[in-house]
Chain A
Amino acid sequence: MSPARDRDPEGSTDETGGRVVLAQAEISRALRRIAHEILEGNKGSEDLVLMGIPTRGVPLARRLSDALHDVEGVEIPVGTLDITMYRDDLRSQPTRPMERSQVPEGGVDGKVVVLVDDVLYSGRTVRAALDSLADLGRPRAVRLAVLVDRGHRELPVRADYVGKNLPTAHAERVSVRLSDTDGTDQVVISGPATAEERA
């Protein structure tokens, strides 16, 4: 992750007319800062496990692990945590395919699990993730790292590590695009979202 394209994101737009609020350089800077904060909060890298929430939490968790490796020189295990079966809106949404959960070797028992997701919004995904995690084991502590916190919480949930706080209107739509899944690194705010995108 070289900060090659370091440009001022303010005012620039993507091809669909959305406002780019974070570009590649800011995203990797935010992840590096979060890596430092995690190490600081945990007083080192001991017992850390990163669990990415699909879809984009998974590549973010991997990048965060790389950033932790750059700082501390140790491999932090990365897993994925599928929350589909734990959602509270299964009966009001079209059927979703279930993704796979992958617990890194060593499990989560007694570990400090950092949940990683792209956008923190209603807090319902995190609620589901906590339930899902409880069925996999008993971590010593659970933390939450997100790239973007856009507000509008519906549950008493907060993030421990935030890449950027983005004040948004309810109707606006925040899209996180990552090179792993979307071919480019950017966070974009665009016009009113349709109902099913409020995930």
Chain B
Amino acid sequence: MKHLLSIADLSRDEINEILDTAVSMHEVQHRDVKKLPTLRGRTIINFFFEDSTRTRSSFELAGKWLSADTINLTGKGTSVSKGESLRDTVQTIDAMGVDMMVIRHMASGAPAQIAQWTNCSIVNAGDGTHEHPSQALLDAYTMRQRLGDLEGKHIALVGDLTHSRVFRSNVLCLTTLGAKVTLVAPATLMPAGIADWSRADGIELSHDLDAVLPTVDAVMMLRVQRERMSGGFFPTAREYAVTYGLTKPRLSLLPDHAVICHPGPMNRGLEISGDAADAAQSLVLDQVSAGVAVRMSILYHLLSGDRTSEGSAA
């Protein structure tokens, strides 16, 4: 494994290996000395063309706790704002001899394109509406810690599917791990062609959240992106909250063992109520805590090991 561009590139065994290693990494997080010497002398650039709090800081912490040198760059304040092309910018950084670039970009496919232009390892930290693989891995990790093996588990993803890269990576990850997935959204927020896609993978579609909730082991609420709310996808925020939000009355529909996830940042009162976000079965903060451990595991798997015989397998 040289790059992490899409969950589709990972086999079930590879996903499980990353998650298993993350369990051990998670224990390191609770030590007094939170540092492992594993990636000493390696350099990682976090290149974020889009805003991010948790993804960027957790990738940075993950690198630092594995003793790699990490540098953060944003689109603003770099030569990108002077009009340099993406290709020239990333090739300049690659020429400095870095080992890995963690890329977040507003264009779908940008990390895959950058992987063609450079020699270093590329991690996709979210590209447009395409994928966010590290988020899907940490979601799977968090659910697995609470629910056990995800094989046969029923997981509902609820919300804005059209614009969600988290959902795309999650569907790939969860179905690869053998979970049953139901996608719940208003018809206007279901991506075109999803019916074909879902039939092929045994994924269910639904517009009725109340009918789905009693059968799930986990429900993941997806963020309604504020910038989409003027796009006419639903009449009002209030109506969305009532129809598709995880409101307090809906909490009682969930089975006792079921857990609630949200990749953050949350819009409290819109897709998730304060009661649901702070409920005992909410894993929102566990997800953040797992984020560093899972990203340490990703960095370890991409940057350790002898890759000379592997070529550039992505």
Contacts and interface: CB of A to CB of B under 8 A. Distances in A.
B24 A91 contact: no
Interface in B261-303: 297, 300-301
Contacts of B33: 135-136
Given A85-B37, A135-B35, A136-B31, A98 B24 contact: yes
Interface stretch (B15-23, B89-97, B217-225): B15-23
B145 to A, nearest CB: 14
A74 B237 CA distance: 66
B300 A98 contact: yes
Given A100-B23, A131-B37, A95 B304 contact: yes
B27 A86 contact: no
Interface residues of B, number: 21
B38 A90 contact: yes
A103 B301 CA distance: 25
A63 to B, nearest CB: 24
Interface in A92-107: 92-101
Given A93-B306, A94-B306, A97-B17, A82 B24 contact: yes
Interface of A: 82, 85-86, 90-101, 131, 135-136
* Cβ-closest 8 pairs across A and B: A95-B305, A85-B36, A98-B24, A85-B38, A135-B33, A90-B304, A98-B21, A100-B24
Interface of B: 1, 17, 20-21, 23-25, 27, 31, 33, 35-38, 66, 297, 300-301, 304-306
11 contacts: A82-B24, A85-B300, A86-B36, A86-B38, A90-B304, A91-B306, A95-B301, A97-B21, A98-B24, A100-B27, A101-B27
